[in-house]
Amino acid sequence: MKSSKSKGQQQEFMSQLQRTNMEREQRGLRPLDWCSEAYRFDKGWAMKDVSCAKRIEAYEAGDGTALEGSSLPAARPDSTAVPDSAAKS
């Protein structure tokens, strides 16, 4: 898979992630996971990292724990849907 971002965009992403992680650590927070953030930024680029590629493949195969912060909230019923019985009346 090919990267969709330029080298400059990738460099800016890495610099920003580094700054963010330094700030998080200063506040006593855990740093953001590189693979997870790179996947959100540019999947093709993240897949070039062998360890990230394995985690991405696991995530896309259904392992919601393979990437950090990537679990989606449980689906909620659509409150605008009209039940079949109401639609027929």
Place of tokens 């493949």: 57
Q: Is residue 89 part of a domain?
A: no
Task: Give the per-residue pLDDT at 4.
Answer: 84
Domain with 19 in it: 1-67
> Cα(5)–Cα(75) distance, rounded to whole angstroms?
31
Question: At residue 66, does pLDDT exceed 70?
Answer: yes
Task: Give the per-residue pLDDT at 82.
Answer: 45
| pLDDT band, residue 75 (cuts 50/70/90) | very low
| pLDDT band, residue 2 (cuts 50/70/90) | confident
Q: How many domains does the chain have?
A: 1
Q: Is residue 56 part of a domain?
A: yes
Question: At residue 52, does pLDDT exceed 80?
Answer: yes
Q: Is residue 77 part of a domain?
A: no
